[in-house]
Amino acid sequence: MKKVAALITCEHASNQIPSQYQGIFSDAHSDLQTHLGWDPGALNLARIISGELKTPLITYDYSRLLIEVNRSLDHPQLFSRYSTRLSEEDKEKLKHTFYQPYRDGVEAQIGELIDEGHQVVHLSVHTFTPVFFGQKREVEIGFLFDTARVAEADFCLTWHEGLSRIRPSLVIRNNEPYAGADDGFTTYLRTRFSGAYYLGLELEVSQKFDGQWHEGLGTDIAESFHKALAVWSSDLDMDQKNL
């Protein structure tokens, strides 16, 4: 019988640039400090969720401005306006040295869990800027998933209801501020693993909450996810018993 296993990742955990590439980022200090360079607060939140669940956390430890590990290899935003200055040879080196090892490592971990008999609930943790191109975003918490995958939608419904009970004042929305089926790592992983074995979810939290993770919000998000996972495990067990 399948059991449920959670895996937490954070693709935009850091704004660090490896020493050998710092030359091309000499004029990028301001961008590296903003959401252009990383997701402020995402790593702290991911650590809280991982700690609550006592489950592995896999992080990409360099800036998205070096190479964007949350985009496909043919995506126009794979390289930033800084790294696009590199030669084609150096860009290929970035793919093989930074991009592929991270993505291959996560994919391999999911594959191992599935081979061990688990259904994997993969949560990719992100934060977003509360004001985008001068427009204030109403959403504060976003659950991103593929609407074509019933299991993902059902899981997020349970999680949404649970977090809303704890934090009724939060503006929580599905597939905002981005669509869960847009180009991204979870979208790619859905092509590798069927919905029976893999749920690819993204958590998006407004950066206006950065610094408040240890004041209860992070714990509430983590505990509500943990409870949703417990409900999902129970339902999966019941479904298999009724087969």
User: pLDDT value at position 214?
Assistant: 61
Query: Is residue 213 one of the residues assigned to a domain?
Result: yes
Asked if residue 214 is part of any domain, the answer here is: yes
Classify residue 235: in a domain, yes or no.
yes
pLDDT in tens, 19-72: 999 999 999 999 999 999 999 999 999 999 999 999 999 999 999 999 999 999
Residue 27 lies inside a defined structural domain of this protein? no
Give the rounded percent of residues in the chain with a pLDDT score beyond 70.
Answer: 95
In a domain, 195, yes or no: yes
Q: What pTM was computed for the model?
A: 0.95
pLDDT at residue number 133: 82
The number of distinct structural domains making up the chain is 1
CATH number, domain with residue 226? 3.40.630.40
Rounded mean pLDDT of 147-159?
A: 97
Domain with 164, as residue range(s), is 3-16+38-61+112-241
Written as one string, the DSSP assignment of the chain is --EEEEEEEETT------GGGGGGGTT-HHHHTSTTT--TTHHHHHHHHHHHHT--EEE--S-TTT--TTS-TT-TTSS-TTGGGS-HHHHHHHIIIIIHHHHHHHHHHHHHHHHTTEEEEEEEEEEE-SEETTEEP--SEEEE--TT-HHHHHHHHHHHHHHHHH-TTS-EEET-SS-TTSSSHHHHHHHHS-TTTEEEEEEEEEGGGTT-GGGTHHHHHHHHHHHHHHHHHHHHHHHHHT-
pLDDT tens across 193-230, in order? 999 999 999 999 999 997 766 679 999 999 999 999 99
Does residue 85 lie within any of the structural domains? no
205 inside domain:
yes
Residue 192 maps to a domain:
yes
